[in-house]
Amino acid sequence: MDRRSFIRKMIIAAAAVSCPAAFSPLAASRAEPSPAPDLAVVRGPSPERIVASAVDALGGMRRFVSPGDIVVVKPNMGWDRAPEFGANTHPAVVAALVGLAVEAGAKRVKVFDHTVNDPRRCYRQSGVAAAAEAAGAEVSFVDKRKFKSVRLDGEVLKEWPLYEDILEADKIINVPVAKTHGLSTLTLALKNWMGVMGGGRWRIHQRIHESLVDVARKVKPTLTVLDAVRILTANGPQGGRLEDVKVLDTVIAGTDQVAVDSYGATLFGLRGRDLGYVRIGHETGLGNMNLESLDIRKITL
Amino acid sequence: MRMTSLRWFVQGAFLLLFLFLFLQTESKGEDTLGYPVRFFLDFDPLVFLSTLLSARVLVPGFLLSLLLVVLTIFLGRVFCGWVCPLGTIHNLTGILNRRKRPVLLPGARRWKYLVLLFLLSSSLFTAQVTGFLDPLCLLIRSLTLFLYPLFQNGLEAVFRAAAEAPVSFLAAPAEAFYTLFQRFLFAFREPHFYQAVFTGLFFGLIVGLNLLERRFWCKYLCPLGALLGLLSRKAVLKRSVGEGCTDCGRCQKACQGAAIGGDPRETIPSECLVCFDCDDLCPVGAVRFGFRGGEKGQALHLGRRAVLLSLFSGALTVPFLRVSPQSRSGLFPGKLIRPPGALDEKDFLAHCVRCGECMKVCLTNGLQPTFLEAGLEGLWTPVLVPSVGYCEYRCTLCGQVCPTGAIRPLKREDRKHVKIGTAFIDPGRCLPYAFGIPCLVCEEVCPTEVKSIWFETVRVIGREGREEPVKRPHVDPALCVGCGICEHYCPVRGEPAIRVVSTGESRSKENRLLL
């Protein structure tokens, strides 16, 4: 943090502290402020509302996004599939987060994904590009010139090209979708970082769990919202059959991506430790996969 | 306004329309393109006629081409003089040529009719070679495979050099221009094509002939010009020369066709492009264009020997093109993966005019022109090269833009059942098989609703004697559609560890794999 932004943040913090409780929208909405839980699991029919409620339960978007921030909201829209097939993050979930970030004063909200299928079809057919744009995001295709080699000094990946926008963002919100994956069993939040990787990213499958943790350690999202409105229970990560899709109408939000993924595993009848990257993430201190030790707030709308 | 000015304006407008439609031959993520991008090809009566002869079918746009036929019967070769984008390019290049007199004898105008007869004779004997010389096919192909890639890759290199230049003031304008070009003029994915050089040389040669003589191609070679010429022999829009003619000979020199012979008062209607140059040029205003009917059309003397020679050589070309073993039935070159919806090979070759529309529209740049993979007869027809780009599972654009139905337009539901080949795993190179290293990228990217790649968990003993579980991929040949995405993304580069071959393609009754 440079001096200027430090001073700016101090001023904002001071203003926030000195703001009379009666004027604070946060305080006004709750009778007594309780500490934010580690995870918020919200279920309900409207994707927009469950996202808003989950973020609210964690302390509101202002906890994560400061006015003037450049925010990246990173969905999974890597596949040429319509929303109902659960292969990509639900457009309404992405749009809700973009809207909240804009409301919280973000200067710019960027949405992109390094897709597997043709980017034009993925952006269009997933419905994410249109929804995010309507909510105020700048949606752009990945520009191959913007992959910059960065030091990761990880267990497996020492150096890898990552997308410039992710590296330069003030705040990152990861918004993956929960689905099956042949090699890593499930693709959840950590796996979503493949979408900011350039280079010969398919090589990481040789040691996928360690590699994903190596990248996640660098990317550091401020907030992770796992979309489980629809989950894909077979033939993932691309799917294509409605019978493989289970509608859960749920989102799981938290600041600890390992904890989010650990909870995500339970949606498929697994435990966090069953997933290599969750276990390694836990063991190397990236996050906490022990759900018993976490404060999980479950809300049904 | 002078007629020539009006003509230049119309020519420019059609050239721009043509280029606009060319640029629109590109997906924006929807299932359809939203523009009738093969519009010009639909108007091409030569494509219609040759496909009628070679494949014995009516091309989808044949009504429009009949419209041009009717128009030509009445107005003459207005298409050549006012519309044809290649003609306009010749017209523009011809400006560079300052030579006054035609270099060829007037008799050379017969050549194009002989070319036409040659092509139609080949078509009649079921070889579709018209596309090599049809001006619209030739132009779209040359643009797609050569000029456009040259334009985009060349400019990108310039912008890159400017951005990386040691002086920093170039970077911002370079980026601004890059963004502008990318938004309006560049292809989404920078195009690269095999055969670009050869198609480019061919195009360069044809355009270069203008330096020898203006509109050399249109006067002496163009088979579409010949066909339209035959139709315009009794056109009612005619050039006439009035009383005041002083025999100055300016109109003879300026004529864009080869329509004015030894006597400047006489016009050969089949050669007249109705360009109005002679009208505007005439110092005494003696030249007029007007509607007059009833006159007897001039006979076309090609010479019996020349005609027979054209017809025979056209027919003989057919076995010549098929001399290589690719034309033998029962032989299926593995690398010859045709786009989804392509007809059975023999039929496909009878339809395809090598216009390059499918290669232009292909999302991944995977459709490439063949060299000799399909034999000489199949030169420059589309083939999927998965290492360059795979076939996008839900895309049907190549069939939508094909002007002859060589690639059928597929409905989204039917698309899923079209198999263009089958993937085979090379265990000597596949990481889990060869080295016991996990991978499964092929399974991850496989697009079929039920994955065509499944895995078997095997316990392998490593170098240290430890037993390790490894997932090994297998292809389910009943489900695999041969899209090649597995080959494209296989992390084993050079020669991927999973490769698609045409085996099992559903367009062929014989190239089947399963019972």
The per-residue pLDDT for A45 is: 97
Distance (Å) from the C-alpha of residue A130 to the closest C-alpha of chain B? 12
Q: Do B491 and A205 touch (CB under 8 A)?
A: yes
User: Would an 8 Å CB–CB cutoff place B392 in contact with chain A?
Assistant: yes
Total domains in the fold of chain A: 1
Chain B: residue whose CA lies nearest to A81: B394
Residue A93 CB coordination number (10 Å): 27
Q: Which residues from B are below 8 Å from A205, CB to CB?
A: 438-441, 444, 491
- The residues near A119 (Cβ < 8 Å, ≥ 6 apart) are A141, A142, B188
pLDDT category at A12 given cuts 50, 70, 90 is low
Collapsed DSSP state (helix, strand, coil) of residue B452: coil
Gap from B474 CA to chain A (nearest CA, Å): 13
What size, in residues, is chain A? 301
* Per-position b or e across B268-305, b if 16+ CB within 10 A of its CB: bbbbbbbbbbbbbebeeebbebeeeeeeeeeeeebeee
What is the predicted pLDDT for the residue at B328?
80
A206–B439 CB contact, under 8 Å = yes
Q: Nearest C-alpha of chain B: how many angstroms from A207? A: 7
Is A182 close to B437, i.e. CB distance below 8 A?
Answer: no
* pLDDT tens column, A47-102: 999 999 999 999 999 999 999 999 999 999 999 999 999 999 999 999 999 999 99
Measured distance CA(B151)–CA(B495) in Å, rounded: 30
Predicted local distance difference test score (pLDDT) of residue B515: 86
Average pLDDT over residues A140-166: 96
Query: Could you say which DSSP state residue B13 is in?
Result: H
Best of B33, B430, B444 to disrupt the A interface (most A CBs within 10 Å) is B444
- The beta strands (E) that lie in B68-129 are given as none
The pLDDT value given to residue A39:
98
Q: Which pLDDT belongs to residue B69?
A: 97
Mean pLDDT of chain A: 92
A228 to chain B nearest CA, in Å? 20
Measured at the alpha carbon of residue B348, what is the angle toward residues B203 and B375, in degrees to the nearest 5? 65
Residues of chain B falling short of pLDDT 50: none
Report whether pLDDT(A6) > 90: no
Residue B470 near chain A (CB below 8 Å): no
Return left, alpha or beta for A220; rule: phi > 0 is left, psi -120 to 50 is alpha, else beta: left
Task: Express each pLDDT in A281-301 by its tens digit.
Answer: 999 999 999 999 999 999 999
- pLDDT computed for residue A21 by the predictor: 45
pLDDT at residue number A22? 43
A206 Cβ under 8 Å from any chain B Cβ: yes
Q: Is residue A30 pLDDT above 50, yes or no?
A: no
Residue A183, amino acid? L
Query: pLDDT-derived band of residue A27, with 50, 70 and 90 as boundaries?
Result: very low
For CA atoms A250, A256, A257, A260, give the dihedral sign. negative
Partner-chain contact A202 B431, CB within 8 Å: no
CA distance B289 to chain A (A): 51
CA distances from B422 to B448, B497, B505 (A): 13, 14, 7
The 10s digit of each residue's pLDDT in A233-281 is 999 899 999 999 999 999 999 999 999 999 999 999 999 999 999 999 9
Min Cα separation B445/chain A (Å): 7
Instruction: Kindly tell me if the per-residue pLDDT of A8 is higher than 70.
Output: no
Separation CA A233–CA A290 (nearest Å): 23
Is the Cβ pair A205, B440 closer than 8 Å? yes
CATH code of residue A31: 3.40.50.11440
Among candidates B30, B392, B490 on the partner chain, residue whose Cβ is nearest the Cβ of A117: B392
Domain with A194 in it: 3-300
Q: Is B437 on the interface with A (CB under 8 A)?
A: yes
- pTM, rounded to two decimals: 0.92
Contacts of A203 in chain B (CB under 8 A): 491
Above 50 in pLDDT, residue A28? Answer: no
Mean pLDDT computed over A116-138: 98
Please compute, for residue B486, the number of CA atoms within 13 A of its CA located in the half-sphere on the CB side: 31
Q: Residue type at B82? A: W
One-letter amino acid for residue B253 of the chain? K
Q: Do A121 and B394 touch (CB under 8 A)?
A: yes
**B394 and A125: CB-CB below 8 Å?**
yes
Q: B512 or A117: whose pLDDT is higher?
A: A117
Q: What is the pLDDT of residue B165?
A: 85
CA dihedral A58, A62, A63, A68 (to 10 degrees): 150
Q: Determine, for residues B437 and A206 on separate chains, whether the beta-carbon distance falls below 8 Å.
A: yes
pLDDT tens-digit profile of A177-195? 999 998 889 999 999 999 9
Q: Does A199 contact chain B (CB < 8 Å)?
A: no
